[in-house]
Structure 1
Amino acid sequence: MDWGTDLWDQCDAIDKHTQSGLDLVERYIKFVKERTDIEQNYAKQLRSLTKKYTKRGNKDEQDCKYSNYASFQEILNELNDYAGQRELIAENMMTGISVELTKYLQDLKQERKTHLSDAKKAQQNLDSSFKQLESTKKRFAKEWAEADKATQQAEKIEHELNATKLDVEKAKQHAHGRTHTAEECRSEYAAQLQRYNKEQSSFYYSEIPQLFNKLQDMDERRIRRLAEGYRQFSDIEKNVLPIISKCLEGITAAGSKIDEKQASDSMIFIEQYKSGFERPGDVEFEDYSQGIKPANSDSSLHPPKVRAKLWPFKKHKILHAEKHMPPAAEDFSHLPPEQRKKRLQGKIDDISKELQKEQDQSEALEKMKGVYEQNPQMGDPSSLEPQISETTQNIGRLRGELTKYETWLSEAVGGEDSSNSINNNFQYSGSTADQDPNVYVEFDDEFEDIETPIGQCTALYTFQGNSEGTISITEGELLSVMEEDKGDGWMRVLRASGEEGYIPSSYVKT
């Protein structure tokens, strides 16, 4: 069954039906566009949410060493990746469905317009032929009536008694002429009728069926393409489900990593804040019943021991305490033993990283100088001398500082056995600070010296940091800039997970 055979007389219905099909395609395109807007807005809100809750700043980044803090940052990273998949869904729906269907719809409209136009022209040609048939038919009828009238008139004149032979002959010739003209019109009408019937048969049995069948084929192709668009709507999201599942699994894994016991957070907290001091001893009994002895040189030189104060759990006013706090020593000798070792080791690590960077830069400058010497057209070797000299001085300075801090660390590690004497000295010094209890404040606010980020940047490309000192980044990741590019093409950044290292400057946008 086809339209041309069964719907040969339903041109208006076919016109409305095909137009309704095109309207459905256009409606589906609008539906997909609105869906993509929803996905894009959803992804945008998710990214804003992760950005809002991502830890930034010195103190927040320090908290990330605990598993429960770090796991939350991993959840935010996974959610950020999840938002990227929602953006991918929106992009694929826009390009794979909306854009392609829009182009296909324009082609269908043009094809439908062409077929309907051809059908209209065929109908107009048939109508024109029918009008011509009616015209020849009317002329034949008119001429035949005139011929019949002339014949009757000739017969009448012939039977009149007073009519002359000339009048009779003239009337017969007129009637004969009219009859001849009527016969010609009759022949013309018969020929036109035959021609019209042939055109009408071709119209209803050939032209119209072919055009209607073409419209049927167009409509069936439209239906198949629309069905494919329906399936794409689902398949596009199915394609990213494995990655979305990995993001959700990563969130679950982040929760499973948390360890509140000795192995992780509690142990880290203990190692970070334990002072290494011994607990205070018993307070000696002072017998006032023997009377007050006069002060002598010994008592003035050796004042009574004062009980060391415990660190308070509540913070006192820091501004007031700072007035009584001794200045910080470069070797961190003002800190408790454990804190001093950590600070010295951290300083050594920082100097080692900076020294390695300067050495890498020195090697790069030497190589560049060698290239300039071999190819003078590329640059002047002497122009690199100031940078080489500065780098050499920096390397010497950093090596000296490294040796100095390594010596202090060795002393701190070797002096653990004398912790009791350190504690005693601390207790003795407490007698001078007894006048103001606000001097006992927490160490973290007074002695933490954490490097502050100097800016933010976004990764333009994915980079695999395989060499020492570098880190891996992913496209679209937000990073904290810790050290700008100093001419060697590398910059130091900090990831949200707490990982820090060097990446190529051209791979990010600040």
Structure 2
Amino acid sequence: WRWGFTSCLSFYSILNELNDYAGQREVVAEEMGHKVYGELMRYSQDLKGERKHHLQEGRKAQQSLDQCWKHMDNSKKKFERECKEAEKSQLIYERLDSDINATKSEVEKAKSQLYLRQHMAEESKNEYAAQLQNFNSEQWKHFNVAIPQIFKNLQDMDGRRTVKLGEMYQSFAEVEQRVIPIISKCLEGMVTAAKNVDERRDSGIVVESFKSGFEPPGDFPFEDFSQNIQRTGSDGTIGTPKTEGGKPDPKHAVSRTKNKLWLFGKKPKAPTLEDLSHLPPEQRRKKLQQRIDELNKELQKEMDQRDALNKMKDVYEKNPQMGDPGSLQPKISETICNMEKLRSEIHKNEVTFPEDHPEGSYTDDHSQEHRSPPQPDPHEFDYEFDDDDPLPAIGHCKALYSFDGSNEGTLVMKENEVLYIIEEDKGDGWTRVRKQGGEEGYVPTSYVEISLEKNSKGAVTYI
């Protein structure tokens, strides 16, 4: 704050007060984490276990009642079956007893069978009555004792949960209440800082700092062009003009005045070119290197962000309750797109980076400040490449995304397209590949899934 502007000093004071305000919010967050959130999480786990126990008791009571009903139903069906058999035996006995052709042994046998069936039916009846009485008793206990007790336990548990919530609400309010006085002081400090802003003082500082010191321009002199004509009454000849040595030239005065009025006009702007070609070679080299370093820092940040998102996605895939892995994919794609843009900018600046050759030629025209590199003979190196074979493939890759290949030296590829690798990534984010048709070029490494051959550097697959 070397200028001492009251608006800047007030802003600095407000930042200090905001720092204290943020500290109090951190205190609230810590208290909430330890006393409120932590206590609620522990109590919630206890309630889950207790609720599970009560529900298990309810299921056991229901299973016991179902078992009693099953025994009662089986005894009922058995009693019904034995009664039908007894009725059938009675009909057989009555038919044989009234038949004059039936022998005495047949009648006695039918009679004994009737007595046996009647005895079995009586036993089934007694068993059915006992099972029915037992089921009715168990059903009464189930609906009048067991289930009400289970519901009462659940109701008591929910009541304790509600009371605990009220206690946590009170704890939260008490934490906020403790920091309110300090926060009020911070806000009062902000109000005081806002009132200390003095627009007249700030304006005076600007005037004192940037005043030109120029004197206001004087009045323009009257230019009498009739002085050059000398008239006489006798001969009417034209005399020679008279000049005063100390009289200033009005044109020069106007030019000086115009030079003083640039404060309210537009200054001439220096030419700004994207490749900084208007600068001298050494200065241009420094500027380009500075720009490349800044882009590399931004690229590293994007790479770190991509790695963090991938780790978070793995955590979400292993623990789906923590979050949806699909929600991170748009952010990962955006980060990859930003990385490719930064790599493209780095590559563009590296291409325009000046070479370390002092013998570069310059044009004689001073209006052109671009350095022109020496042009080699187009036939000088023809013999070196006439018989060269294409580079061997060291692996293959599969395109994960489409790439338009708009930059010079890049290759257009489509999604899921298989390409041959002829040169690995040298650390700049680009891999040299060849299509099956023989077309070669560079593609972004992060856009392809690479598999190198074992005889080159071992089978490696990465994205």
Query: Is the TM value for this pair above 0.5?
Result: no
Bin the TM-score by the shorter chain: 0.3 to 0.5
Q: TM-score, normalised by structure 1?
A: 0.36
**Larger RCO: Structure 1 or Structure 2 (Cα < 8 Å, ≥ 6 residues apart)?**
1
Higher helix share: 1
